[in-house]
Amino acid sequence: MENFADRLITAIRNKNSPVVVGLDPHFKLIPDAIKQPFVSLLKKNSLEYAASVILEFNKQVIDVVAPHVGIVKPQIAFYEAYGWWGVKAYAETILYAKEKGLIVIGDVKRGDVPSTAEVYAAAHIGEMRIGDVAATPFAADAATVNPYLGSDSLRPFIQTAKDYGKGIFVLVKTSNLLSGEFQDILCGQKKLHEIIAEKTNEWGSTLIGNEGYSSIGAVVGATFPQEMVTLRKIMPKAYLLVPGYGAQGATAKDIKHCFNPDGLGAIINASRSILYAYSAEPWKGKYTMSTWRNAAEEAVIAMNRELRGG
Amino acid sequence: MENFADRLITAIRNKNSPVVVGLDPHFKLIPDAIKQPFVSLLKKNSLEYAASVILEFNKQVIDVVAPHVGIVKPQIAFYEAYGWWGVKAYAETILYAKEKGLIVIGDVKRGDVPSTAEVYAAAHIGEMRIGDVAATPFAADAATVNPYLGSDSLRPFIQTAKDYGKGIFVLVKTSNLLSGEFQDILCGQKKLHEIIAEKTNEWGSTLIGNEGYSSIGAVVGATFPQEMVTLRKIMPKAYLLVPGYGAQGATAKDIKHCFNPDGLGAIINASRSILYAYSAEPWKGKYTMSTWRNAAEEAVIAMNRELRGG
């Protein structure tokens, strides 16, 4: 079974792009033309209506971006928002993206006591056994996980990643403004997120692929470039999943330090700045809601170019 | 709109029980008689089959325990395990429990950056607006949340709790063996979980009900009785949601210190030791799989009695 980090690197090389397109469907921002065919559902069941709309939107986004990027990251909150219909759209989005040859990171940020974590891991990146039958509830290639509960809570995810050629990304330093409130607390000589980074590096040491990277990666926000420098050193073999680029304000300069000298080691997420490029600077003068696809494509090509430094 | 903590206390008084029945459906342990009517689904779709079974099991469990307890806590991992079919069973379990007059705590342990946390909060304890229509994706009365991302990540949950008369329980000190790995780290003079407990107390100060308790509670494992004493003092007005009783090994003596002198302030979760009482000590000599309902009922009555100290 191929190592997840190796598969990730192949996807990055094939598209010559470290970009991850975040599939965060904001219902309000989805173009009217996508909503129109489903509008009769609205009176029957508004959640089913919204879920149908977001699935169709995702498929069109995937079609637009797939020639330019190798990785997508649906954020499950935006699907749970529409109840089980939304979660169905989440599952189907994953399958559609995989059909198109993309790597899918399920941004689920799960974390629980070991017996429960085992079930989460099976659900999101593994398999469930029902009697003699094996089933795949959600078929993501990797999942984000929250480390607050400790090593034993992550072990089932690590084991499942090993068993199924999947990956995890441990929340180390998140991109939100107050992430430092607990994550930056000084514990003796080190900040909490540095301690968690050390552990992440240690957990990852058993899952190194042929390319020298581990299937146990880390989430490190682009919004904290100084911390990035330190964390890159603490976790030299971890793939960093970097949110905060674009709509959250970080620039190509800010994310320079998340890459290793080999040009690998990081994937950069952007969601709103690509999906809804038609509605925001610098594209909104050039495009409108009806040409949202062109805006999204130009935005992803521009982001690729920026990250390649040209 | 009635304050969540007040509603919780009413439920506790009505049943004279601080017990929370954890609805964690382990497919393997569900009695055969529950599975039988659905078995034709297995070949068609094993996830749909399992989801149908767990929903039916939950309904029967709820019928058995509702005369004796006022609160249930479905752990969403055990539903995500069966894909969107399972998540549908989660939503329907919540509705069924509420029909029976129970308070429902969604054990979802969500935590994310503020814009995403807002969506999670709306999904689990609030409402989503889809155009002009308001919809309720999951109708839980409260949700568990993970604090690792900081205050700004919890603010949307706190605001939603305020707006809709709901509650949250912040993970402070979890019941798993290695919870201390990060949660007990010394940050200056204090342990990390103590710092988070202080914050939880502060966040909760704006949501105190008529009974003097806050709708912002905390998860504190019964498996760490010494920490419990300290945490009870740091968060005098927080309702403590206490896992670890029964199958995880904690006893009535261990949870004595989670209650305040007024006899209030804590709810004690048990799941496996009630749902599958037929299969474990001390009941398995007396009951079999076919009399699992009687075992569950006797187990919940016995737990009530133990917690009342008699």
**Residue A307, helix vs strand vs coil:** helix
For the beta carbon of residue A253, count every other beta carbon within 10 angstroms. Answer: 9
pLDDT digits (tens, 9 = 90+) for B248-307: 778 888 888 999 999 999 999 999 999 999 999 999 999 999 999 999 999 999 999 999
Residue B160 clears pLDDT 80, i.e. is over it: yes
Return the residue in A152, A176, A186, A202 with the most chain B beta carbons within 10 A, the one to mutate for interface testing. A176
For residue A120, give the chain B residue with the closest CA.
Answer: B77
What pTM does this model have?
Answer: 0.98
Judged against a pLDDT cut of 70, whether residue A67 lies above it is answered with yes
* Closest Cα in chain B to A54: B130
Which pLDDT tens digit goes with each residue over B77-99?
Answer: 999 999 999 999 999 999 999 99
Yes or no, beta carbons of A130 and B27 under 8 Å apart: yes
Q: Is the CATH code 3.40.50.1100 the one for domain A4-307? A: no
Token pair 């690509």: residue: A274
Q: Are B137 and B131 in contact (CB under 8 A)?
A: no
- The span from the CA of A277 to the CA of A274, in Å, is 5
Per-domain boundaries in chain A: 4-307
Question: Does the beta carbon of A273 lie under 8 angstroms from any beta carbon of chain B?
Answer: no
The interface residues of chain B toward chain A in range 143-162, judged by CB-CB distance below 8 A, are 146-153
Rounded Cα–Cα distance for residues B230 and A36 (Å): 57
Q: What's the average model confidence in pLDDT over B185-196? A: 96
Beta carbons within 8 Å of B266's beta carbon, 6+ residues apart: B18, B239, B240, B241, B242, B255, B258, B259
Percent of chain B with pLDDT over 70: 99
Residue of B nearest to A170 (CA): B148
Chain B interface test: which of A112, A127, A138 (most B C-beta within 10 Å): A112
Chain A contacts in chain B segment 209-268 (CB below 8 A): 243
* ipTM topping 0.90: yes
